Amino acid sequence: MLRLKVDGMSCGHCVGAVTQAVQTVDPQAEVKVDLAAGTVDARTNADPAAISGAITAAGYAARIAD
């Protein structure tokens, strides 16, 4: 399970955009977005840097959560 801290998410559109960004890297990824916490959990075997980069390319600031 990969957990990312994502800044800039505030609505349902953001959830869809971030989910789509993750699934462009791994179409089989299971994605859970928590707007209140500003986190994205992804069940994936893809490279974490690729996932983070895809979210960043979608317009959000993403980093691997501690």
Beta carbons within 8 Å of 48's beta carbon, 6+ residues apart: 2, 4, 64
Backbone phi and psi for residue 33, each to the nearest 5 degrees, phi listed first: -105, 130
Write down the pLDDT at residue 62. Answer: 96
pLDDT tens for each residue of 24-61? 999 999 999 999 999 999 999 999 999 999 999 999 99
* Reported pTM: 0.93
Strands of 1-66, DSSP E: 2-7, 30-34, 39-43, 61-64
Which positions ≥6 away from 1 have C-beta within 8 Å? 41, 42, 43
Q: Where are the domains of the chain?
A: 9-61
Tokens of 58: 């979608």
Topology of the domain comprising 9-61:
Alpha-Beta Plaits (3.30.70)
